[in-house]
Amino acid sequence: MLLIIAVAIGFEAARRLVQGGPPVDPTGYAFILLIGTILIESGRAFVMRRVGGAIASEAMLADSVDRLADVLANLGVLIGLIGVRMGLLWADAAAALIVAVIIVRAAGMLTWRSGDILIDRAPAGAEEDLRGAIRNVGGVREVRSVRVRRSGPNLIGDATIATGRMLSVEAVSALAEDVKARARSVLPRLDLAVTVEGQKQGADLVERIHAAAARNGGVRDLHNVTVEREVDGSLHLTMHAKLPGDQTVAEASSVSRNLERSIRAELPEVTRIDIHLEPMEPQVVPGQDVTARNAQLAAQIRAIVEAHPEVKRCVDV
């Protein structure tokens, strides 16, 4: 609608400049109305711009631009009427052309800002600033993707990062919170969703073996992992794997075979894998006080401890 009005005003102004038109006879109250309108609209535009910036309201900022366009248009009309009063009959038509240009510019800015909101366009440089901030968080090996978009006065974003594959669930959660905190320091109004992935590239062989064991699920603890590279370049792996103590031999053998398949899928160059299976120790070992039944042993322990030159007394055995 604004563009249609601007075209109509511009066409009529151009016609009057070329062909002429009826004379304009501005009265005194027209000047008073124009000056009063300019003062009121200027105040409204200033207030709306400050409030819109404070609350990050795109609608209010757009309205302030519209009010400012009205002020500039009224100024153009006022200048044109002053020109007519001074005998410049073409001044009114020239002012109308200026008003048409102002309206076109205001309509273009309003359309552009509305388009930003409708297509969720992020503020300029926001994604690069966010990527740089995340890259400096300890534990982040790679920033794979970053996206930021508007949601009213706030921003919504998502980021995918890569880190070590052996991090625990608690460590991954803490890393995600660190990333969010760093993101808020750069973009305070950002609500960020973080996806954490394991980075296969750059991981050492032992880390990759542990990652394969973690995917297996049946192994409770993998330790004493040794990697030997043979003369022909192939790998020979030796490791100890702990399983629940109540598993049968058949079940333990099945877990061992699955673990070997997972490792070979991770490291195709492996030619030999030796897995030593061990039972898990119980989480709580039942205890019993047998001091009274072994008084002689307790006395010998006490004597050995008190014989040490720096020990003055053994309080309890």
pLDDT, tens digit (0-9, with 9 covering 90-100), for 44-97:
888 888 887 777 666 677 677 778 777 877 787 788 778 777 777 777 777 777
Assess whether 245 and 163 both reside in one domain: no
Residue at which a domain ends, from 118, 144, 160 = 118
Residue 297 three-state SS: helix
- How far apart CA 259 and CA 254 sit, in angstroms, is 9
pLDDT of residue 201: 64
Structure token pair of residue 126: 């926001």
Assess whether 194 and 213 both reside in one domain: no
Structure token pair of residue 127: 């994604």
pLDDT of residue 194: 95
Assess whether 190 and 92 both reside in one domain: no
Assess whether 70 and 20 both reside in one domain: yes
pLDDT of residue 177: 94
Q: How many domains does one find in the chain?
A: 4
Residue 105 three-state SS: helix
Phi, psi of 141, rounded to the nearest 5 degrees: -90, -30
pLDDT of residue 29: 77
Cα dist. 303→113, 289, 290, 291, 311 in Å?
88, 20, 18, 15, 11
Does residue 40 sit within a domain? yes
Does residue 258 sit within a domain? yes
Q: Which candidate, 11, 10, 26, 15, places its Cα nearest to that of 87?
A: 26
CATH of the domain at 139: 3.30.70.1350
- How far apart CA 61 and CA 142 sit, in angstroms, is 38
Assess whether 21 and 106 both reside in one domain: yes
Whole-prediction pTM value? 0.52
Assess whether 92 and 175 both reside in one domain: no
pLDDT of residue 151: 72
SS3 content of the chain, % helix, strand, coil (to 5): 55, 20, 25
Assess whether 170 and 81 both reside in one domain: no
- How far apart CA 197 and CA 165 sit, in angstroms, is 8
pLDDT of residue 1: 63
Residue 249 three-state SS: helix
Name residues of the chain where pLDDT drops below 70.
1-3, 5-6, 9, 13, 21-26, 56-59, 62, 110, 112-123, 152, 201-203, 283-285
- How far apart CA 5 and CA 60 sit, in angstroms, is 23
- How far apart CA 80 and CA 127 sit, in angstroms, is 47
- How far apart CA 78 and CA 26 sit, in angstroms, is 10
Give the domain extent around 309.
289-317
Q: Is 6 exposed, middle or buried (0-12, 13-18, 19+ CB in 10 A)?
A: buried
Q: Are 102 and 3 in contact (CB under 8 A)?
A: no
pLDDT of residue 292: 83
Residue at which a domain ends, from 149, 167, 198 = 198
Does residue 284 sit within a domain? no
Residue 152 three-state SS: coil
